[in-house]
C-alpha cells in the first residue's frame, strides 16, 4: 500500500544515530517523502539525547494495535516505544543494549512480514557486541531472521555508481576460501533485479579480480577457477558483464561512466574507493530479502557520540532514496 510507513530502527543507542536522525528532521527531509516514517526505539532515551544535543522536535507515541489505519504526521517523530533501561543518555557501548536492539528489529520484521510497513532503515550497530561473531553483519542477521529464499546481497549505492563486496564483512584471510562462482552469480542477479525494477534499466557490471593484476603465483588462480567461469555463465544468460578487471586501475573517471555497478571480491577492495569518491553520499542496501533494507554507510562512530558534530548526509541519502522507490 502507498501509505505503508518506512520503518527506522534505532540500532545501537550509544552511537551518533540519534544526532543524525534529529538533523534529518530539522532539515525536513522526511516531509519530502510520499510515505510517512515510523521510528522504533526508546521514546524516553531519544528525548533525553535530544535535550543534550539541543534539538526541538515533537514526538508521538504510536500504539501497534492502531497502526494499520493510522495517518502519521510527517513533521514529527512517530515512534513505537521500546523500553530501555539506561544510566546515561550517551554511555559506553556494551552488550547491555542487545535485548533492546533485538526487540526493535523483531517489531520491524513483524510489521514488514505482515506488509503493514514498506521498508526498513536501521541505525548502525556494534558488530563486536551485538552480532558477536554469529553473523558477518546486519545483512546476514536479517537474512536469518526472515528466512530468505535467496542469499542476500550487500550493495553500496549511489544513483550514479554502486559497488558490491561479494564476501561482505569477512576477514581478509578468509576471502579466498569463501569466494565461489555461485556467490558472484547470486549478487549479479539480485542487483540486476533491483535496477530493472527501480531504475528500469539493464545495469552494466564490471567484475574485479581478487589478486594483484588478476595474476597469482598459484597454479590455478581464483580468477581462472572462480571469477572467469562466473563471468562466462553470466554472459551466456545475457547479463551485461565485463572483467575481471585489476582493482588498482579500475576506478577511473571513464569506468565510473561506462559501468553502473562494480562487483569486488572483498570489502575494502570496493568500499575504500567508493567512500573516497562519494564520501557520505552513499547508502548500504540489502537486496534479496522479502523487503528492502537501507542503512547509512557508516558505523556507530563512538568518538563522535554526543558531540553534535556528525555529518548526517548518509542518513539523509537513505531517506531520500525512497522518493524514487515505489
Model confidence over 148-186: pLDDT tens digits? 777 899 999 999 999 999 999 889 999 999 999 999 999
C-alpha to C-alpha distance for 92 and 250, rounded to whole angstroms: 40
Residue position matching grid coordinates 525512497: 322
Model confidence over 286-298: pLDDT tens digits? 999 999 999 988 8
Give, as one character, the DSSP assignment of residue 274.
H
Q: Which three cell numbers stand for residue 308?
A: 553534535
Stated pTM of the model:
0.90
Considering the chain, what percentage of its residues have pLDDT values greater than 70?
Answer: 99
Ordered by where they begin, the domains of the chain are 1-148+289-326 (3.40.718.10), 153-285 (3.40.718.10)
Model confidence over 83-109: pLDDT tens digits? 999 999 999 998 889 999 999 999 999
Model confidence over 35-91: pLDDT tens digits? 999 999 999 999 999 999 999 999 999 988 777 777 899 999 999 999 999 999 999
Amino acid at each position: 500500500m502507498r501509505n505503508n510507513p518506512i520503518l527506522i530502527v534505532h540500532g545501537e543507542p550509544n552511537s551518533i544515530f540519534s544526532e543524525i536522525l534529529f538533523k534529518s528532521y530539522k532539515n525536513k527531509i522526511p516531509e519530502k517523502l510520499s510515505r510517512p516514517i515510523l521510528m522504533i526505539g526508546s521514546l524516553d532515551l531519544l528525548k533525553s539525547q535530544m535535550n543534550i544535543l539541543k534539538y526541538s522536535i515533537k514526538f508521538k507515541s504510536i500504539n501497534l494495535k492502531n497502526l494499520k489505519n493510522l495517518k502519521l504526521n510527517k513533521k514529527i517523530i512517530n515512534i513505537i516505544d521500546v523500553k530501555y533501561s539506561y544510566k546515561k543518555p550517551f554511555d559506553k557501548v556494551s552488550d547491555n543494549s542487545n535485548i533492546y536492539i533485538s526487540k526493535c528489529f523483531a517489531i520491524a520484521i513483524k510489521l514488514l512480514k505482515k506488509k503493514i510497513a514498506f521498508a526498513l532503515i536501521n541505525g548502525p550497530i556494534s558488530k563486536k557486541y551485538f552480532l558477536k561473531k554469529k553473523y558477518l553483519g546486519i545483512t546476514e542477521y536479517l537474512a536469518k531472521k526472515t528466512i530468505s529464499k535467496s542469499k542476500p546481497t550487500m550493495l553500496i549505492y549511489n544513483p550514479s555508481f554502486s559497488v558490491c563486496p561479494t564476501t561482505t564483512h569477512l576477514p581478509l584471510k578468509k576471502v579466498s576460501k569463501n569466494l565461489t562462482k555461485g556467490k558472484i552469480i547470486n549478487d549479479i542477479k539480485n542487483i540486476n533485479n533491483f535496477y530493472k525494477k527501480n531504475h528500469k534499466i539493464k545495469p552494466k557490471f564490471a567484475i574485479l579480480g581478487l589478486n594483484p593484476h588478476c595474476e597469482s603465483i598459484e597454479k590455478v588462480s581464483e580468477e581462472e577457477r572462480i571469477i572467469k567461469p562466473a563471468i562466462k555463465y553470466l554472459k551466456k544468460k545475457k547479463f551485461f558483464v565485463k572483467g575481471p578487471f585489476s582493482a588498482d586501475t579500475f576506478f577511473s573517471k571513464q569506468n565510473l561512466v561506462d559501468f553502473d555497478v562494480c562487483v569486488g571480491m572483498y570489502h575494502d577492495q570496493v568500499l575504500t574507493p567508493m567512500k573516497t569518491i562519494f564520501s557520505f553520499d552513499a547508502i548500504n542496501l540489502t537486496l534479496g530479502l522479502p523487503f528492502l533494507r537501507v542503512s547509512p554507510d557508516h558505523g556507530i562512530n563512538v568518538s563522535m557520540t554526543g558531540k553534535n558534530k556528525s555529518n548526517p548526509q548518509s542518513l539523509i541519502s537513505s531517506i531520500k532514496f525512497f522518493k524514487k522507490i515505489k
